[in-house]
Amino acid sequence: MNKILVVDDDLDILEVVHILLTLNKFTVRTISRGESVDQEVREFTPDLILLDVSLGTTDGRVICQRLKSSPGTSRIPVILFSAHFDLVNNISGCHADDVITKPFEVADMLGKIRKTLAASES
């Protein structure tokens, strides 16, 4: 069972995504603070990170870039998601594996997660 770390400062989004992913047979851990990502990655060892771009005082693109540039975490796929169209379109430097815009279609989100996981396993 694939493990997914979901990072979003909106607790309602975290709850909905947690339920959707759990129902689709993923092991899920959610956190609401970008500052906790590094510790959670070490403890949970996710197969994929679903990361909000706008995390209050933290920018998910910066977290993504840090993860992708570190030898210990560069292999972990990161999918960014955001309700801010301009933020989603400005992700080239962080090397995210994919992007999901909010509000998202459940089938689209699950499809991107499965596709990204499959690509990382090959």
pTM: predicted TM-score of the whole model, two decimal places: 0.93
Residue ranges per structural domain of the chain: 3-121
DSSP strand E in the chain: where?
3-7, 27-31, 48-52, 54-55, 58-59, 78-82, 98-101
Which pLDDT does position 88 carry in this prediction?
A: 54
Q: How far apart are the first and last CA of the chain?
A: 16
Q: Which tens digit of pLDDT belongs to each residue from 19-32?
A: 999 999 999 999 99
Residues 6+ apart with CB under 8 A from 66: none
**Chunked in runs of 10, what are the mean pLDDT values of the chain (122 residues)?**
96 96 98 94 97 90 94 96 68 84 91 96 82
Which pLDDT does position 76 carry in this prediction?
A: 97
Class of domain 3-121: alpha beta
Which amino acid appears at position 63 of this protein? I
Which pLDDT does position 86 carry in this prediction?
A: 62
Residues 6+ apart with CB under 8 A from 18: 6, 28, 30
Which pLDDT does position 19 carry in this prediction?
A: 97
